[in-house]
Structure 1
Amino acid sequence: MPDTGREPGGEATALGFDRRARAFLFVAGGALGLALGLGLPYLAGALANLEWVPFGGLLHDIGAYDAIWAWVARPLLGLALGLGFAAFVIHDSPVVRVEPTQLVITQRGSSRRVERKDVNGVYRDGSKTVVVSATGRELFRGEIEGGRDKVRAAFINHDYPWEST
Protein backbone atom coordinates (compact mmCIF):
# COMPACT_ATOMS: atom_id res chain seq x y z
CA MET A 1 0.00 0.00 0.00
CA PRO A 2 1.52 3.37 -0.96
CA ASP A 3 2.34 5.93 1.71
CA THR A 4 -0.27 8.67 1.39
CA GLY A 5 1.30 10.85 4.06
CA ARG A 6 -1.74 10.55 6.35
CA GLU A 7 -1.42 9.41 9.92
CA PRO A 8 -3.12 6.05 10.47
CA GLY A 9 -6.56 6.43 12.02
CA GLY A 10 -6.52 10.24 11.82
CA GLU A 11 -7.57 13.02 9.48
CA ALA A 12 -4.52 15.21 10.01
CA THR A 13 -0.97 14.86 8.72
CA ALA A 14 1.89 16.29 10.76
CA LEU A 15 4.89 17.47 8.73
CA GLY A 16 8.22 18.29 10.35
CA PHE A 17 10.95 16.49 12.26
CA ASP A 18 9.63 13.14 13.46
CA ARG A 19 10.92 11.38 16.58
CA ARG A 20 13.64 9.49 14.67
CA ALA A 21 14.95 12.63 12.99
CA ARG A 22 15.05 14.50 16.31
CA ALA A 23 16.93 11.63 17.94
CA PHE A 24 19.39 11.57 15.04
CA LEU A 25 19.99 15.32 15.33
CA PHE A 26 20.68 15.06 19.06
CA VAL A 27 23.03 12.08 18.63
CA ALA A 28 24.87 13.64 15.66
CA GLY A 29 25.07 17.09 17.29
CA GLY A 30 26.32 15.65 20.57
CA ALA A 31 28.88 13.41 18.87
CA LEU A 32 30.17 16.23 16.66
CA GLY A 33 30.42 18.60 19.63
CA LEU A 34 32.22 15.94 21.69
CA ALA A 35 34.66 15.25 18.84
CA LEU A 36 35.38 18.95 18.37
CA GLY A 37 35.91 19.35 22.11
CA LEU A 38 38.41 16.49 22.12
CA GLY A 39 40.16 17.72 18.98
CA LEU A 40 40.27 21.42 19.88
CA PRO A 41 43.92 21.44 21.11
CA TYR A 42 45.11 19.72 17.93
CA LEU A 43 42.99 21.93 15.66
CA ALA A 44 44.09 25.13 17.45
CA GLY A 45 47.74 24.07 17.27
CA ALA A 46 47.49 23.34 13.55
CA LEU A 47 45.72 26.62 12.80
CA ALA A 48 48.25 28.60 14.86
CA ASN A 49 50.99 27.54 12.45
CA LEU A 50 49.23 29.05 9.42
CA GLU A 51 50.36 32.57 8.53
CA TRP A 52 47.01 33.85 7.28
CA VAL A 53 45.06 32.89 10.43
CA PRO A 54 44.52 35.85 12.79
CA PHE A 55 45.24 35.50 16.52
CA GLY A 56 47.85 32.80 15.94
CA GLY A 57 49.42 33.38 19.34
CA LEU A 58 46.12 32.91 21.15
CA LEU A 59 45.41 29.75 19.15
CA HIS A 60 48.87 28.44 20.01
CA ASP A 61 48.19 29.06 23.71
CA ILE A 62 44.83 27.25 23.49
CA GLY A 63 46.46 24.30 21.74
CA ALA A 64 49.30 24.16 24.28
CA TYR A 65 47.08 24.39 27.41
CA ASP A 66 47.36 20.96 29.00
CA ALA A 67 45.62 21.05 32.38
CA ILE A 68 43.75 17.91 33.46
CA TRP A 69 40.49 19.78 34.05
CA ALA A 70 40.64 21.23 30.52
CA TRP A 71 40.77 17.72 29.02
CA VAL A 72 37.48 16.99 30.80
CA ALA A 73 35.85 20.40 30.34
CA ARG A 74 36.47 20.78 26.59
CA PRO A 75 34.61 17.60 25.51
CA LEU A 76 31.78 18.29 27.96
CA LEU A 77 31.45 21.85 26.70
CA GLY A 78 31.53 20.59 23.10
CA LEU A 79 28.84 18.02 23.92
CA ALA A 80 26.65 20.69 25.51
CA LEU A 81 27.10 23.03 22.54
CA GLY A 82 26.31 20.23 20.06
CA LEU A 83 23.14 19.28 21.93
CA GLY A 84 22.17 22.95 22.21
CA PHE A 85 22.63 23.43 18.48
CA ALA A 86 20.44 20.38 17.75
CA ALA A 87 17.75 21.74 20.08
CA PHE A 88 17.92 25.12 18.32
CA VAL A 89 17.52 23.53 14.87
CA ILE A 90 14.51 21.50 16.02
CA HIS A 91 12.92 24.47 17.80
CA ASP A 92 13.44 26.74 14.77
CA SER A 93 12.01 24.27 12.24
CA PRO A 94 8.27 24.58 11.53
CA VAL A 95 5.82 21.78 12.19
CA VAL A 96 2.83 21.99 9.86
CA ARG A 97 -0.28 20.01 10.70
CA VAL A 98 -2.35 19.63 7.53
CA GLU A 99 -6.04 19.11 8.29
CA PRO A 100 -9.05 19.12 5.94
CA THR A 101 -10.29 22.46 7.33
CA GLN A 102 -7.09 24.23 8.36
CA LEU A 103 -3.31 24.29 8.62
CA VAL A 104 -1.79 24.58 12.08
CA ILE A 105 1.74 25.98 11.86
CA THR A 106 3.92 25.72 14.97
CA GLN A 107 7.34 27.36 15.01
CA ARG A 108 9.57 28.84 17.71
CA GLY A 109 7.09 28.03 20.45
CA SER A 110 4.05 29.72 18.89
CA SER A 111 1.21 28.38 16.75
CA ARG A 112 -1.08 29.93 14.20
CA ARG A 113 -3.96 28.64 12.14
CA VAL A 114 -4.64 29.16 8.45
CA GLU A 115 -8.18 28.30 7.42
CA ARG A 116 -8.57 26.07 4.34
CA LYS A 117 -10.96 28.60 2.74
CA ASP A 118 -8.15 31.21 2.80
CA VAL A 119 -5.68 28.99 0.89
CA ASN A 120 -5.69 29.52 -2.87
CA GLY A 121 -2.46 27.72 -3.74
CA VAL A 122 0.45 25.70 -2.38
CA TYR A 123 3.73 25.32 -4.26
CA ARG A 124 7.46 24.73 -3.88
CA ASP A 125 9.97 27.54 -4.29
CA GLY A 126 13.33 25.80 -4.17
CA SER A 127 13.41 23.98 -0.84
CA LYS A 128 10.62 26.09 0.67
CA THR A 129 6.90 25.36 0.70
CA VAL A 130 4.74 28.41 0.02
CA VAL A 131 1.04 28.77 0.87
CA VAL A 132 -0.74 31.74 -0.76
CA SER A 133 -4.18 33.36 -0.51
CA ALA A 134 -6.44 34.40 -3.39
CA THR A 135 -4.92 37.89 -3.30
CA GLY A 136 -1.41 36.46 -3.60
CA ARG A 137 -0.49 37.13 0.03
CA GLU A 138 1.94 34.57 1.43
CA LEU A 139 0.31 32.82 4.36
CA PHE A 140 3.36 30.61 4.97
CA ARG A 141 6.84 30.25 3.50
CA GLY A 142 9.31 27.84 5.03
CA GLU A 143 11.28 24.64 4.81
CA ILE A 144 9.18 21.73 6.02
CA GLU A 145 11.17 18.65 7.00
CA GLY A 146 9.99 15.27 5.80
CA GLY A 147 10.81 15.22 2.11
CA ARG A 148 9.24 16.74 -0.99
CA ASP A 149 7.01 13.77 -1.76
CA LYS A 150 5.56 13.50 1.73
CA VAL A 151 4.84 17.24 1.89
CA ARG A 152 3.20 17.17 -1.55
CA ALA A 153 1.12 14.09 -0.68
CA ALA A 154 -0.10 15.63 2.57
CA PHE A 155 -1.46 18.72 0.84
CA ILE A 156 -2.94 16.79 -2.11
CA ASN A 157 -4.58 14.19 0.15
CA HIS A 158 -6.36 16.97 2.02
CA ASP A 159 -7.48 18.63 -1.25
CA TYR A 160 -5.29 21.71 -1.05
CA PRO A 161 -4.51 23.23 -4.47
CA TRP A 162 -0.95 22.01 -5.12
CA GLU A 163 0.59 23.95 -8.00
CA SER A 164 4.11 22.50 -8.36
CA THR A 165 5.02 19.59 -10.58
Structure 2
Amino acid sequence: MSTDNHHSGASAGPAVFKLTRTDVIVIGVVCVGLGIALGFLLPALGSLAAKFPIPFGDPIEKLSSFDQPWVVTIRPIVGAVLGVIATAVIAGSNTPVLVDDDEIVIGRENDHPLRISRTSFSTAYFADGKLTILTEGGHQAFRGEVEGKKDSVAAAFTSRGYRWGEI
Protein backbone atom coordinates (compact mmCIF):
# COMPACT_ATOMS: atom_id res chain seq x y z
CA MET A 1 0.00 0.00 0.00
CA SER A 2 3.03 2.15 -0.03
CA THR A 3 5.42 3.43 -2.59
CA ASP A 4 9.07 4.07 -2.00
CA ASN A 5 9.59 6.54 -4.80
CA HIS A 6 12.73 8.61 -4.49
CA HIS A 7 12.08 10.84 -7.48
CA SER A 8 13.01 14.44 -8.07
CA GLY A 9 13.44 15.76 -11.57
CA ALA A 10 15.62 13.15 -13.23
CA SER A 11 15.13 9.71 -11.84
CA ALA A 12 17.09 9.47 -8.58
CA GLY A 13 16.33 5.82 -7.94
CA PRO A 14 13.83 3.05 -8.45
CA ALA A 15 10.14 3.28 -7.62
CA VAL A 16 9.13 0.30 -5.52
CA PHE A 17 5.51 -0.76 -5.11
CA LYS A 18 5.05 -3.29 -2.31
CA LEU A 19 3.58 -3.82 1.13
CA THR A 20 5.75 -2.16 3.75
CA ARG A 21 6.51 -3.66 7.15
CA THR A 22 3.96 -1.25 8.65
CA ASP A 23 1.31 -2.43 6.16
CA VAL A 24 1.95 -6.07 7.13
CA ILE A 25 1.76 -5.20 10.85
CA VAL A 26 -1.58 -3.40 10.38
CA ILE A 27 -2.94 -6.32 8.33
CA GLY A 28 -1.70 -8.71 11.04
CA VAL A 29 -3.32 -6.75 13.87
CA VAL A 30 -6.64 -6.68 11.99
CA CYS A 31 -6.54 -10.40 11.08
CA VAL A 32 -5.49 -11.54 14.56
CA GLY A 33 -8.06 -9.21 16.16
CA LEU A 34 -10.82 -10.60 13.95
CA GLY A 35 -9.71 -14.16 14.74
CA ILE A 36 -9.80 -13.53 18.49
CA ALA A 37 -13.16 -11.78 18.23
CA LEU A 38 -14.61 -14.68 16.24
CA GLY A 39 -13.29 -17.07 18.88
CA PHE A 40 -15.14 -15.17 21.59
CA LEU A 41 -18.27 -14.61 19.47
CA LEU A 42 -18.66 -18.19 18.22
CA PRO A 43 -21.54 -18.99 20.63
CA ALA A 44 -23.44 -15.89 19.46
CA LEU A 45 -22.80 -16.84 15.84
CA GLY A 46 -24.07 -20.34 16.61
CA SER A 47 -27.37 -19.05 17.94
CA LEU A 48 -27.62 -16.73 14.93
CA ALA A 49 -26.94 -19.68 12.62
CA ALA A 50 -29.75 -21.60 14.30
CA LYS A 51 -32.24 -18.81 13.52
CA PHE A 52 -31.11 -17.56 10.11
CA PRO A 53 -29.59 -19.26 7.07
CA ILE A 54 -26.00 -17.97 7.10
CA PRO A 55 -23.02 -19.45 5.23
CA PHE A 56 -21.46 -22.39 7.07
CA GLY A 57 -24.37 -22.22 9.54
CA ASP A 58 -24.44 -25.93 10.45
CA PRO A 59 -20.70 -26.23 11.29
CA ILE A 60 -20.78 -22.93 13.21
CA GLU A 61 -23.82 -24.08 15.19
CA LYS A 62 -22.13 -27.39 16.05
CA LEU A 63 -18.82 -25.75 17.00
CA SER A 64 -20.54 -23.21 19.23
CA SER A 65 -22.36 -25.95 21.16
CA PHE A 66 -19.09 -27.04 22.79
CA ASP A 67 -19.00 -25.10 26.05
CA GLN A 68 -16.40 -26.94 28.12
CA PRO A 69 -14.00 -24.48 29.84
CA TRP A 70 -10.97 -25.64 27.85
CA VAL A 71 -12.85 -25.17 24.56
CA VAL A 72 -13.99 -21.68 25.56
CA THR A 73 -10.34 -20.84 26.35
CA ILE A 74 -8.86 -22.31 23.19
CA ARG A 75 -11.29 -20.76 20.66
CA PRO A 76 -9.74 -17.25 20.76
CA ILE A 77 -6.24 -18.77 20.60
CA VAL A 78 -7.18 -20.78 17.50
CA GLY A 79 -8.72 -17.59 16.04
CA ALA A 80 -5.45 -15.71 16.65
CA VAL A 81 -3.43 -18.46 14.97
CA LEU A 82 -5.77 -18.40 11.97
CA GLY A 83 -5.31 -14.61 11.88
CA VAL A 84 -1.53 -15.02 11.74
CA ILE A 85 -1.91 -17.55 8.93
CA ALA A 86 -4.21 -15.17 7.02
CA THR A 87 -1.65 -12.38 7.42
CA ALA A 88 1.11 -14.61 6.06
CA VAL A 89 -1.03 -15.57 3.06
CA ILE A 90 -1.91 -11.94 2.30
CA ALA A 91 1.69 -10.75 2.64
CA GLY A 92 3.01 -13.69 0.61
CA SER A 93 0.56 -13.17 -2.24
CA ASN A 94 1.66 -9.56 -2.75
CA THR A 95 4.05 -9.16 -5.68
CA PRO A 96 6.56 -6.31 -5.40
CA VAL A 97 7.19 -4.25 -8.54
CA LEU A 98 10.37 -2.17 -8.97
CA VAL A 99 10.58 0.33 -11.82
CA ASP A 100 14.14 1.52 -12.51
CA ASP A 101 15.79 3.38 -15.37
CA ASP A 102 17.29 0.23 -16.88
CA GLU A 103 14.83 -2.51 -15.99
CA ILE A 104 11.58 -3.52 -14.32
CA VAL A 105 11.82 -6.20 -11.63
CA ILE A 106 8.70 -8.12 -10.63
CA GLY A 107 8.90 -10.31 -7.55
CA ARG A 108 11.21 -10.71 -4.59
CA GLU A 109 14.99 -10.75 -5.07
CA ASN A 110 15.31 -14.06 -3.19
CA ASP A 111 12.59 -15.72 -5.28
CA HIS A 112 13.84 -15.56 -8.91
CA PRO A 113 12.13 -12.30 -9.92
CA LEU A 114 11.05 -11.53 -13.47
CA ARG A 115 13.40 -8.94 -14.99
CA ILE A 116 12.27 -6.96 -18.01
CA SER A 117 15.02 -4.90 -19.62
CA ARG A 118 14.30 -1.51 -21.15
CA THR A 119 15.13 -2.89 -24.61
CA SER A 120 12.63 -5.74 -24.35
CA PHE A 121 9.88 -3.59 -22.80
CA SER A 122 7.01 -2.49 -25.03
CA THR A 123 4.25 -0.92 -22.92
CA ALA A 124 2.45 -1.04 -19.59
CA TYR A 125 -1.15 -0.23 -18.68
CA PHE A 126 -3.94 -1.07 -16.27
CA ALA A 127 -6.70 -3.38 -17.49
CA ASP A 128 -9.46 -4.53 -15.15
CA GLY A 129 -7.52 -3.07 -12.21
CA LYS A 130 -4.40 -5.11 -12.93
CA LEU A 131 -1.04 -3.89 -14.13
CA THR A 132 -0.22 -5.43 -17.48
CA ILE A 133 3.30 -5.27 -18.95
CA LEU A 134 3.96 -6.23 -22.55
CA THR A 135 7.35 -6.97 -24.08
CA GLU A 136 8.36 -6.39 -27.67
CA GLY A 137 6.28 -8.50 -29.97
CA GLY A 138 3.24 -8.00 -27.73
CA HIS A 139 3.98 -10.84 -25.30
CA GLN A 140 2.37 -10.39 -21.90
CA ALA A 141 5.20 -10.57 -19.37
CA PHE A 142 3.12 -9.69 -16.31
CA ARG A 143 -0.49 -9.19 -15.35
CA GLY A 144 -1.35 -8.77 -11.70
CA GLU A 145 -2.25 -6.51 -8.86
CA VAL A 146 0.29 -4.04 -7.60
CA GLU A 147 0.37 -1.97 -4.42
CA GLY A 148 0.07 1.76 -4.93
CA LYS A 149 -2.27 4.15 -6.66
CA LYS A 150 -2.71 3.82 -10.41
CA ASP A 151 -1.48 7.37 -10.98
CA SER A 152 1.70 6.71 -8.98
CA VAL A 153 2.39 3.51 -10.90
CA ALA A 154 1.82 5.25 -14.24
CA ALA A 155 4.08 8.14 -13.19
CA ALA A 156 6.84 5.70 -12.20
CA PHE A 157 6.85 4.33 -15.74
CA THR A 158 6.42 7.57 -17.68
CA SER A 159 8.95 9.57 -15.63
CA ARG A 160 11.60 7.00 -16.56
CA GLY A 161 10.72 7.09 -20.25
CA TYR A 162 8.72 3.86 -20.42
CA ARG A 163 5.69 3.80 -22.70
CA TRP A 164 2.37 3.88 -20.83
CA GLY A 165 -0.95 3.17 -22.52
CA GLU A 166 -4.53 3.20 -21.31
CA ILE A 167 -7.02 0.60 -22.46
Query: Which band: TM-score by shorter chain?
Result: 0.7 to 0.9
> What is aligned with 2:114?
112
Matched, 1:123 2:125: yes
1:8 is displaced (CA, Å) by: 6.4
- TM-score, normalisation: structure 1: 0.85
Contact 1:7 1:13 in 2 (8 A): yes
> What is aligned with 1:12?
14
> What is aligned with 2:43?
41
Q: 5+ residue gaps in structure 2?
A: none
After alignment, is 99-108 or 20-29 more displaced? 99-108
1:28 is displaced (CA, Å) by: 1.0
Distance 1:112 1:134 in 2: 15
> What is aligned with 1:152?
154
Distance 1:51 1:123 in 2: 43
> What is aligned with 2:96?
95
**Could you say what the CA RMSD is over the residues aligned between the two structures, in angstroms?**
2.6
> What is aligned with 1:140?
142
Q: 5+ residue gaps in structure 1?
A: none
Distance 2:141 2:96 in 1: 15
Contact 2:96 2:107 in 1 (8 A): yes
Q: Which amino acid aligns with 2:25?
A: A
1:52 is displaced (CA, Å) by: 8.1
Contact 1:45 1:62 in 2 (8 A): no
Residues 43-72 of structure 1, C-alpha deviations (whole Å, 9 max, x = no match): 12220234687774x544422211111122
Q: How many residues align?
A: 161
Q: 1:109 to 1:47 in 2, by over 3 A?
A: farther
Structure 1 counterpart SS, 2:136: coil
Contact 2:157 2:163 in 1 (8 A): yes
Distance 2:60 2:30 in 1: 26
Contact 1:14 1:97 in 2 (8 A): yes
Contact 1:38 1:74 in 2 (8 A): yes
Contact 1:33 1:79 in 2 (8 A): yes
1:20 is displaced (CA, Å) by: 2.4
